[in-house]
Structure 1
Amino acid sequence: MDEARNIDTRATGIRGDRNKFRLVIDQPYWCAWAVARYGKPLALPVPVPVVVQFIVDHTARVKAGELVIELPKDTDERLVEAGFKGSLGPLKMATILHRLYVLSKLHQLRRVQNPCEDPQVRHLISRARRAAAKRGETPTKKTAATREPLEAMLATCDDSLEGVRDRALLLFAWASGGRRRSEVAAATVDQLRKVDDDLFVFRLHRSKTNQIGNTTPDKPIRGKAAAALREWLARSALQEGALFRRVWKDRAGPRLSPHSVAAIVKRRAALAGVEGDWAG
């Protein structure tokens, strides 16, 4: 399966960290599956029957009271042993949809006939989704930070520079309707305008629902969130660039990544003894 490990996904033309991540992770899986299933690498355009087989191979169905898949056992084992699958058996419906999204996007970029738009494929996916829903398989949702768990996490933040940063980050992330971790990581000092000691205005250039930045809604940050931001800016001496950064002892370092933002939230939740999935 070495062919699947040597794919260049850099020149995809896809914007957005999450979409790039899907391409990097899921495209090699398609190729690994094709090599294991058919003995040859995947080539575009992918025939509709191959996409149908991919769906059938990875979608769970009930047989004799057990969930089974059409993927041959030895092929499944090879994919797991090579590190392309995490475990034997069916994939989650969300994972299958992600991988179909990647295949569809690759066909769009190459401007070739897209098998994912074929009625047969769409019908099969519709049936698979209904079956998954009947089995009780639902997409994993991140836990919403309501007042009580948020206050518990804030209580773990001390007066160190790291604690001051984390307190500001948590309150900023859930101020004015909430910020995604990618938006928190991308926030800059230049996007903040101080109105007074109890109010900042944050200009959100792009968001999940405004990818092209054709509107620039101003988000007010008031009260405790404003006070926490004010203290972080004063202690870190930041005047420009990334708003939230790594902390090296008593000074601010480079910008936090979206993954680092998620790790901070998860760490504070663990310290507070708050259960849930806080990776969003």
Structure 2
Amino acid sequence: MDRAEKNIIPVLGTDPSTSVDLVDGLAASDSKTIAHLLKTGIGANTLRATRSDLSYIEAWVLACDGTSLPWPPGPELVLRFIAHHLWDADQRVIDPDHGMPDHVRATLVKGGYLRAEGPHAPATVERRIASWRALCRWRGVEHPFSRDDVKRTLRSAVRASTRSRHRKSQRNVDLQLMEDLLDSLDARCSPAPLKIKEHEADRLRSIRDRALLSVMFASGGRRRSEISNLMFGQLIDLDPLPTDNPEWPDGLPSMGIRIGRSKTTDARDDNAVFMTGRSVEALRYWISAADITSGPVFLRIDRWGKMFDYSISAHSVNQVLKSRLAEIGCEAADFSAHGVRAGYITSALKAGIPAPEIMEQTLHRSLDTLMGYFKDEEQRQGKAARLL
């Protein structure tokens, strides 16, 4: 960590775009520039999660000891945090003192910091500890998170946890479901016999949503933030690919997308993913219909069909998916944008595509992480489940 990084202290609880204090003497304009670079380089979602995590940890310390969070935290405090959040529900029945004390829990519930019954999800505890560790590094203070006893305790507590893993999307948006979704949108994208204003507004949104969803899936199950932030300058026009398919007499249309900074990649990596066929055709049709030559690709469109010059939000990407699934009779509550990523990976693996090739599209660096997305909803009907 260099000197500049050590003097950047996030001020959590304020807007993430201005959540930095810098060394005295730095001009206000320079502070805003650094704040923008932090927000862009770290990511607004990461800053938001870090702010939330620290708020919870501060509330927990206050509930336990009646004092503010110490910097740096001692190893005993971190171990107590693990004990209070990754306890064993069965042991709690035998030993009432096991896990988080009742008075601490009551204080956190009253303050609105704690809602779930029982021990925390291991992923939540690991994320909060990672945020805690990162904040120690940003403040330039020593921390106990690298100590063997802390790492060993956390690892053992996570392994011993009996809490089932919660999936961000209860159901996958697999290849078949995505094709059904796009078929439905194809019908909505057809020009109306008469220029009916309401139909034209719906048609424009359908053209955008068809392109958005097909690109989201075909490019490797891109995250909703990557879709909402997609810029025209990231698109790479490529020559058609040869094919014997009579539907594409001129070859399969092909495009690339330069992936800048993402959750797992750095802009300097110069990663690119590729799409062919239906998704490329849908994207080019939208770009032509919206006359996009620069800036964001997927623009916001209001209910009356007015198109704005800024992109839809990541939250809206999720809502587009849910609303379009509801239109074809699916239960929207069972799905989220995360299900597109899981559906792409599951469909690709079931199609026999090698994992390294899939990882080139998803940009995963770990095979274990990739396999964590695999969810075959027909598992109980398969031969493996009926062997005996």
| TM-score (structure 2 length as normaliser) | 0.64
Provide the C-alpha distance between the structure 2 equivalents of 1:213 and 1:257, rounded to a whole number of angstroms.
25
Alignment match of 1:94 (pick from 123, 144, 150): 123
- Could you say which structure has the larger radius of gyration? 2
| Structure-1 residue corresponding to 2:319 | 263
Contact 1:76 1:88 in 2 (8 A): no
1:136 to 1:33, Cα distance in 2 relative to 1, 3 A: closer
| Structure-1 residue corresponding to 2:54 | 27
Matched, 1:229 2:287: no
Gapped regions of structure 1 (runs ≥ 5): none
Provide the C-alpha distance between the structure 2 equivalents of 1:145 and 1:130, rounded to a whole number of angstroms.
30
Matched, 1:163 2:206: yes
Aligned residues: 273
1:231 to 1:85, Cα distance in 2 relative to 1, 3 A: same
| Structure-1 residue corresponding to 2:139 | 110
**Alignment RMSD (CA, Å):** 2.6
Contact 1:172 1:225 in 2 (8 A): yes
| Structure-2 residue corresponding to 1:183 | 226
> Residue 161 of structure 1: SS of its match in structure 2?
helix
| Structure-1 residue corresponding to 2:20 | 11
1:67 to 1:268, Cα distance in 2 relative to 1, 3 A: farther
Superposed, 1:40-55 pairs within 5 Å as 40-55=67-82
Provide the C-alpha distance between the structure 2 equivalents of 1:76 and 1:269, rounded to a whole number of angstroms.
39
> Residue 63 of structure 1: SS of its match in structure 2?
helix
| Structure-2 residue corresponding to 1:174 | 217
- Identity %, equivalent residues: 27
* Cα shift readout 1:94-148 (whole Å, capped 9, x = no counterpart): 111111011010111112111222222111111111112xx26235254543211
What letter is aligned with 2:224?
R
| Structure-2 residue corresponding to 1:71 | 100
Provide the C-alpha distance between the structure 2 equivalents of 1:65 and 1:251, rounded to a whole number of angstroms.
59
What letter is aligned with 1:236?
A
| TM-score (structure 1 length as normaliser) | 0.86
| Structure-1 residue corresponding to 2:268 | 213
User: Post-superposition shift, 1:25?
Assistant: 1.2
Gapped regions of structure 2 (runs ≥ 5): 1-10, 22-37, 190-202, 241-252, 339-388
Contact 1:27 1:102 in 2 (8 A): yes
| Structure-2 residue corresponding to 1:278 | 336
Alignment match of 1:150 (pick from 160, 164, 178): 178
* Cα shift readout 1:189-209 (whole Å, capped 9, x = no counterpart): 122233468333322233444
Contact 1:181 1:261 in 2 (8 A): yes
Provide the C-alpha distance between the structure 1 equivalents of 2:91 and 2:184, rounded to a whole number of angstroms.
49
1:206 to 1:80, Cα distance in 2 relative to 1, 3 A: same
